[in-house]
Amino acid sequence: MTTVGFIGLGIMGRGMARNLIKAGFELHVWNRTAGPTTELAAEGAVAAASPADLAAQCEIVIACVSNTEAVQAVLLGPSGVIEGARAGSLVIDMSTISPSATREIAARLGERGVHMLDAPVSGGSEGAARGTLTIMAGGPPEQFARALPVLQAMGKNIFHVGDHGAGQLVKLVNQILVVGNALAMSEALLFAQAAGLDLRKTLETVSSGAAGSWMLSNRGPKILARDWRPGFMIDLQQKDLRLALAAADEMGIPMLCTSLVSNLYSTLQAEGLGREGNHALIKALEKLAGVEVGAQPG
Nearest to 277 by CA among 130, 121, 170, 124: 124
What dihedral angle (degrees, nearest 10) is formed by the CA atoms of 48, 51, 54, 58? 160
Separation of CA 196 from chain center: 36
Q: What end-to-end distance do the CA atoms of the chain give, in Å?
A: 62
Could you say which of 22, 156, 171, 239 is catalytic? 171
Helix (H) or strand (E) holding 75: helix 68-76
Is the C-alpha dihedral spanning 117, 123, 128, 131 positive or negative? negative
β pairing state of 90-93 and 121-122: unpaired
Closest C-alpha among 37, 17, 16 to residue 27: 17
> What angle do helix axes 166-194 and 99-110 make, rounded to 10 degrees?
150
Decide if 199 contacts 222 (C-beta within 8 A).
Answer: no
222 is catalytic: no
Pairing of the two strands 133-138 and 121-122: antiparallel
Q: Which residues are catalytic?
A: 171
